[in-house]
C-alpha cells in the first residue's frame, strides 16, 4: 500500500466504496465522477503505478475483472457496448498513479466520442 493513494485506501477498506466485482488481485467500483451512468473502474488490489508496472502474470485476473464488470454493467445499465480505457502517465490523462481501467457503458447516441469513426 502506498500512502495517500486513494485506490490503495479503497482496496484496503480504509475508504468505503461499493464493490461491483472482485477477484484475488483486482476489484471494480463505480467511478466517483462518472462521465455516463455506470462508468466504473477496475483497480488492482496491490499498488502498481500503471500498466507497465503491473506483472504480466496478473493478466488473466485483470481480464476476468474487466469482462465480469462489463457484463454486469451491460445487463444493469442496458448498455449496447462498452469502452475499456487505460491511461498511463499524466500526459496521457492518468490522474491517479495506481493502475486502473475505466469501463464505460455505451448506448447509441450518447454523445461520447472516443477514437471512433462513424
Q: Is 47 tagged catalytic?
A: no
**Looking at domain 6-106, which CATH architecture does it have?**
2-Layer Sandwich (3.30)
Distances in Å between the Cα of 63 and the Cα atoms of 10, 17, 27, 57, 67 are 20, 21, 11, 11, 6
Q: How does pLDDT run across 44-95, given as a tens digit for each residue?
A: 999 999 999 999 999 999 999 999 999 999 999 999 999 999 999 999 999 9
Domain extents for the chain? 6-106
What's the pTM? 0.92
* Active-site choice (39, 98, 100, 102): 100
Amino acid at each position: 500500500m502506498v500512502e495517500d493513494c486513494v485506490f490503495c485506501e479503497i482496496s484496503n477498506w480504509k475508504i468505503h466504496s461499493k464493490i461491483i466485482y472482485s477477484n484475488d488481485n483486482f476489484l471494480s467500483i463505480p467511478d466517483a465522477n462518472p462521465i455516463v451512468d455506470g462508468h466504473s473502474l477496475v483497480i488492482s488490489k496491490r499498488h502498481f503505478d500503471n500498466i507497465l508496472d503491473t506483472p504480466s502474470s496478473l493478466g488473466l485476473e485483470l481480464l476476468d475483472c474487466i469482462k465480469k464488470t462489463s457484463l454486469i454493467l451491460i445487463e444493469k445499465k442496458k448498455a449496447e457496448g462498452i469502452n475499456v480505457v487505460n491511461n498511463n502517465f499524466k500526459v496521457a490523462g492518468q490522474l491517479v498513479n495506481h493502475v486502473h481501467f475505466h469501463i464505460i457503458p455505451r448506448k447509441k447516441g450518447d454523445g461520447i466520442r472516443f477514437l471512433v469513426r462513424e
